[in-house]
Amino acid sequence: MSGIDSMNEFYVQENMQLLEQLEEILLGGQSDSGELEQKEIEEIFRAMHTIKGASAMMGYENLTHLTHSIEDIFDAVRNGLKLSSDMWEELIDLVLTSIDFLKEEIMKVQNGSTPDGDIDELRGIAKDVLKRAKGEETSEKKEEVVSENSQEEAYLYSKVFFQEGCAMESIRALGVVTNLNKVSTIAKITPEDLDSGCDEEIVKNGLEIYLYTPEGLNAVEEVIKKTMFLKNYEIRKVDNKELDEVFGISSEEVIIEPVKEEQKEEIKETKPKVTEIKDTIKEEVIKQSPKKEVKQEASKNTFLTVNINKIDTLMNLVGEIVTTESMVEKQSQLENFDRDNFEKQARRLHQLTNELQDVVMSIRMVPISSTFTKMQRVVRDMSRKTGKSVELVLIGEQTEVDKNILENISDPLMHMIRNSMDHGIETPEERANTTKPSKATIVLEAKNTGGDVVIIIKDDGRGINKEAVIKKAIEKGITTKNPDEISDKEAYNFILAPGFSTKEQVSEYSGRGVGMDVVYTNIRKLRGSISIDSEFGKGSMFILRIPLTLAIVDGMKVQIGKETYIIPALNIKEVFTQGGFEVVKNPNGEEHSIIRGECYKVTRLSEILGIEAENKDDDIMILVETEIGSVCILVDKIIGQQHVVIKPIPPMLTQFEQVQSHMSGCSILEDGSISLILDANAIINM
């Protein structure tokens, strides 16, 4: 990996994290008066200053200017500038919009392109906000008077030193060179190769630069002064003698003074032009300066911040595994083979492997807080657009989930929060006619239960009108049952059907029949489930249950005919052997079993999957349970319990309807064969 690649990766990782933190501060830091506390103001200023410095180092001029404009506002506020509540609201809107813009631009960097978004509008708003806050009437910037001397063409020498301990001096030096290229042509740098680990040399001797600039010494100095972690610098003009020693040319050979019209032809024949000298220097730069590699396609990398204690534990475990593995191998090669000692070491190796699995899985676990913060933004934006006053209460935002789960749960949660805001929460006029507080509440809660994470979305809005839902479900052909036969739970589940919507008018947010069915599909892909509860007039509650990780589960291997399948152990409530249960048929031919006074539907997996059972007698019955219900399934045999690594179902198998409808994944068994993993929710919903 080149220095440019590693620098881009570091830039993207660091600044995306800063932007997430900024959004969290802005959405969670406002007091009742709308102001931010001094601590939050300082944090926002530092974050913007860091992003500005990093962008300047990378040569992303538009991002540098935008963050500098916002930094100016917070610098003034932290130094005593007072803002009204309306201006605070305006400022926070500006920063949130800028964060969205910066994220889009930084994603361009990650995808290998240049951030080139137009910042004029945002920068203009920022300048206007600052001027109005200071009581200035005009938003026009006065032109700076630049001395004639500062604009003259010149050959310059500069030496730059960075602050002690700033690290990555060679990368920072490369940033200086990149920025200077915009106002000058660099002829020579020392060290020559900034991509070869020259940090110590730069710390000791500094970065030396010879350059030519048509814009004057001041322009170059302004660029250098913006360098992040700059300790000190020197800059001066190069005299004829030094120029001759460095390049073998003299400044007398360069025509920079105005000449008379009649002299131009003579000069053309005898002396080189400034542009020719610049071309010569550019050729020198190509030979000596670091080359920027052009990639046809940039690879996307995902970063994860890991506690150093987990890494230490991982290293210790790997060391123990290596030692134990060598002991096991040695035991198997001894002439006097000690079976007891061999089994003891094998058990120890198995134990260490399990611990290694736990530590590796814990490394992938990250707090759900970043996703919850995005929901605050959704509520804030929709509150302003719909006129509804809503408070989002977050509970358990430090609950940890697998990184992959977190990336896939954001869109479903956003759909559901929007659904609560649009469908659930009443308009201010409707709410005024109730005994409820004028400000509505949506609660977003996360908690761990066993091997799952449970996410609850609860609101105190109008609730779900069961009769309206049933009527719409019958109209759309979702059900043919008599309304009196439909339970509350069954009625609420109609909301998850494709194309279902009770909203008559299409809005920006809902009413198109797309939403909850998409949520349900995405949750199913995560091997999760949704349950709905509501009381009309009082509010609704949606409960999502999702596995903590998508990678490994405990499973029970069962045999149906000659095939082996896996049922996730978390879904198994009880197992009954032959003689321990009874299956009866109702008048409709459906099979049921009574267990401790409760009646459960019985499903024969052999019939669902189209497999001929080995034994026509009922051998084994397993009670499977999820949030959406329970069912008893009949299998031929239980083989045993096993940790299984979940893999996607091979494309050649997804063409079969039984596999696509009833399986959530597959796993490779110890003999190398593939075993499909049953989707408990799909079996229960049949």
* Cβ–Cβ < 8 Å for 235, 158: yes
CB-based contact 114:120 (threshold 8 Å)? no
Q: In the predicted model, what is the mean pLDDT of residues 20-30?
A: 79
- Spatial strand order of the sheet with 185-190 comes to 185-190, 207-213, 154-162, 230-237
In a domain, 139, yes or no: no
Nearest to 352 by CA among 316, 326, 327, 308: 316
Residue 134: pLDDT band with limits 50, 70, 90: confident
pLDDT at residue 309 is higher than 70: yes
The secondary element (H helix, E strand) that includes residue 61 is helix 61-78
Is the confidence at residue 566, as pLDDT, over 80? Answer: yes
Residue whose tokens read 């189209």:
610
- Alpha-carbon Rg of the chain, whole angstroms? 34
Q: Cα–Cα distance between 371 and 445 in angstroms, integer?
A: 12
Give the model's pLDDT for residue 32: 57
Question: Do 464 and 558 touch, CB atoms closer than 8 A?
Answer: no
Domain co-membership, 35 together with 10: yes
Last residue within a domain, chosen from 134, 156, 181: 134
Which comes out higher in pLDDT, residue 552 or 407? Answer: 407
- Asked if 442 and 417 touch (Cβ cutoff 8 Å), the reply is yes
Whether 358 maps to a domain, the answer reads yes
In a domain, 303, yes or no: no
Q: What is the DSSP letter of 421?
A: I
Mean pLDDT of 93-113: 89
User: Is residue 442 within a helix (H) or strand (E), and if so which, with residue range?
Assistant: strand 440-449
Residues 6+ apart with CB under 8 A from 488: 466, 534
Confidence of residue 456 (pLDDT cuts 50, 70, 90): very high
What is the pLDDT at residue 410? 85
Q: Does residue 2 surpass a pLDDT of 50? A: no
341 in a structural domain? yes
438 has a pLDDT exceeding 70: yes
Residue 679 in contact with residue 663, Cβ under 8 Å?
Answer: yes
Is 299 domain-assigned?
no
Residue 524's pLDDT band (boundaries 50, 70, 90)? confident
pLDDT at 102: 92
Is the pLDDT reported for residue 277 higher than 60? no
- Check whether residue 381 and residue 347 sit in a common domain: no
H helices of 209-365, in order, are: 217-225, 240-247, 264-270, 274-288, 308-333, 339-363
* 300 domain residue, yes or no: no
> Which runs of consecutive H residues, i.e. helices, occur in 139-262?
169-180, 199-205, 217-225, 240-247
What's the per-residue H, E or C state across 112-126? CCCCCCCCHHHHHHH
Provide the CB-side half-sphere exposure for 582 (13 A, CA). Answer: 8
- Mean pLDDT lowest among 369-373, 440-444, 654-658: 654-658
Q: Transcribe 480-511 into DSSP letters.
A: -S-GGG--HHHHHHGGGSTT----SS--SSS-
Average pLDDT over residues 123-130: 89
Same domain? For 504 and 560 the reply is no
Residue 151 has pLDDT above 60, yes or no: no
In angstroms, the CA 227 to CA 180 distance is 11
Domain that includes residue 206, residue range: 148-288
User: Would you place residue 451 in the very low, low, confident or very high pLDDT band (cuts 50, 70, 90)?
Assistant: low
Q: Do 534 and 604 fall within a single domain? A: no
- Cα(625)–Cα(631) distance, rounded to whole angstroms? 7
The pLDDT score that the predictor gives to residue 616 is 60
CATH of residue 117's domain is 1.20.120.160
What confidence tens digit (pLDDT) does each residue in 614-671 have?
666 667 889 988 766 788 988 888 888 877 777 777 777 766 766 767 787 788 877 7
Do 547 and 658 meet the contact criterion of CB atoms below 8 Å apart?
Answer: no
Q: Which residues contact 474 (CB under 8 A, 6 or more apart)?
A: 480, 483
| Residues in CB range of 253: below 8 A, 6 or more apart | 271, 272, 277
In a domain, 268, yes or no: yes
CB atoms within 10 A of CB 1: 9
For 410-446, give one letter per residue: b (16+ CB within 10 A) or e. eebbbbbbbbbbbbbbbeeeebeeeebeeebbbbbbb
User: What's the pLDDT score for residue 248?
Assistant: 59
Reported confidence tier of residue 460, pLDDT bands at 50, 70, 90? very high
Which range of 216-220, 579-583, 636-640 scores highest in mean pLDDT? It is: 636-640
Count CA atoms within 13 Å of residue 536 on its CB side. Answer: 9
CA distance 381 to 387: 10
H or E element, residue 160: strand 154-162
Report which of 202, 302, 303, 289 is spatially closest to residue 4, judged by C-alpha positions: 289
Residues 28-69 have pLDDT tens digits of: 765 555 678 888 889 899 889 889 888 887 888 889 889 989
For 160-215, write each residue's pLDDT tens digit. 998 887 777 888 888 888 888 878 888 888 888 887 678 888 888 899 998 888 77
Examine the domain organization and report whether 106 and 172 are in the same domain. no
Binned at pLDDT 50, 70 and 90, residue 597 comes out as: confident
Backbone angles phi, psi at 30, to 5 degrees: -70, 135
Asked if residue 515 has pLDDT above 70, the reply is no
Boundary of a domain, candidates 547, 566, 588: 547
User: Are the CB atoms for 236 and 183 separated by under 8 Å?
Assistant: no
Confidence of residue 550 (pLDDT cuts 50, 70, 90): low
Same domain, 564 and 535: no
Burial letters 197-215, b for 16+ CB under 10 A, else e: ebbebbeeebbbbbbbbbb
CATH of the domain at 232: 3.30.70.1110
At 395 the pLDDT is 92
Q: 310-348 pLDDT, tens per residue?
A: 788 888 888 888 888 777 777 767 667 777 888 888 888
607 and 633, same domain (yes or no): yes
Q: Looking at the structure, do residues 536 and 608 belong to the same domain, yes or no? A: no
Pick the more confident residue, 372 or 303: 372
**373 versus 136: which is more confidently predicted?**
373
Judge whether residue 452 has pLDDT over 90: no
Same domain, 164 and 225: yes
Q: Are residues 322 and 400 in the same domain?
A: no
Rounded CA separation 421/379 (Å): 7
Q: Rounded to whole angstroms, how far apart are CA atoms 347 and 340?
A: 11
**Is 170 within 8 Å of 189 (Cβ atoms)?**
no
Q: Is residue 509 scored above 70 in pLDDT?
A: no
Q: Average pLDDT in the 391-405 region?
A: 86
Instruction: Decide if 655 is inside a domain.
Output: yes
Mark 495-515 as b/e (b = at least 16 C-beta within 10 Å): bbbeebbbeeeeeebbbeeeb
CATH number reported for the structural domain that contains residue 452 in this entry: 3.30.565.10
Tell me what the pLDDT averaged over the chain comes to: 78
Q: What is the pTM of this model?
A: 0.60
Name which residue leads in pLDDT, 647 or 459: 459
Query: Which of 108, 134, 160 finishes a domain?
Result: 134
Kindly report the CA angle at 85 between 94 and 509, in degrees rounded to 5?
55
Provide the pLDDT confidence category of residue 541 given band limits of 50, 70 and 90. Answer: very high
User: Which residues, in sequence order, are bridge partners of residue 539?
Assistant: 535
Higher pLDDT, 4 or 683: 683
CATH number at residue 631: 2.40.50.180
What pLDDT sits at residue 485?
Answer: 79
- In this prediction, residues 283-310 reach a mean pLDDT of 51
Q: CB within 8 A of 555, min separation 6: which ones?
A: 566, 567, 568, 569, 641, 642, 643, 644, 667, 677
Q: Are residues 530 and 624 in the same domain?
A: no
558 and 639 together in one domain: yes
Count of the separate structural domains present in the chain:
5
